[in-house]
Amino acid sequence: MKKIKTGDEITHIIDELPVSKEFTLSSLHLSSSINENTFRTVVSRLVKQGKLTRIRPGRYKKSAQFEQYLFVYGSMKKGFQNHSRLINAEYLGEFTTVGKYVMYADTSNLFPYVIENEKRSSIHGELYKITNADEFKSIDELEGSPTYYYRKQVSVESKEKKQKYSAWIYFRSPTNPTRLRRTNPMSIWEKELAPTVKKQRLSAMFSVKRHSKNSQKDLEEIFNYGDDGMIHLSQMKKGSSIPFKSFQNITFI
């Protein structure tokens, strides 16, 4: 076998493998001079390019087309506000992370975030297979990767623990400019807050006239709520004017 010295030569050998051929570092019978870290760097790059799929840690296969697995735990799950981003993806079921992390709600209580280096519990979510590179790129943009969230592959397993995949997950980035909020830790992001709960929090977000006898009622009359239970500022009652108390509790989507 030709002696391999560089990452480019590793790529060349992988390119010669048949499509969908599974392989590991040992199955390629690479030269002993090949550094394992170099091999991992090469296959990681090929995975990101959509040329390889990581089946599970250490095992890969060539893809006939772009094929990546994404584990979602918050706003992209079924029934949540950003699920439309996965309309063309294949739903594979409910999964949990094999590793332990921690999840908190953000300052708006509309989105969760997971921190990688805090080991508390497995995270519950949904697994999707994405076969369109542009759609995956748009999800990166939605998540503000890598400034707000960074993407990393982790092991996930089905609820029955009969299936295991290596999938991308978005962790909160250390460079995230928003205030870090540590609410009660959770392992699953439930349905969004009910409209009644959100309405109760309006008074903490906005100021109303001092002479108002029922400030909460005034707020409810001024704001309209969509079917999703969210506050749509663009649909405020015409002519209404209310100053913000703080932007900390408001998220613009």
Q: Match 């010295």 to its residue by tokens.
A: 5
Q: Match 């499509």 to its residue by tokens.
A: 19
Answer yes or no: are the C-beta atoms of 37 and 3 closer than 8 Å. Answer: no
Is 16 labeled as catalytic in the residue annotation?
A: no
Helix (H, G, I), strand (E, B) or coil at 112: strand
Peptide bond into 146 cis (omega under 30): yes
Catalytic residue, chosen from 118, 143, 192, 221, is 143
The three-point CA angle 130-133-138 to 5° equals 90
Closest by Cα among 224, 189, 199, 17 to 112 = 189
Range list of H helices, 65-194: 133-142
Active site (catalytic) residues: 143
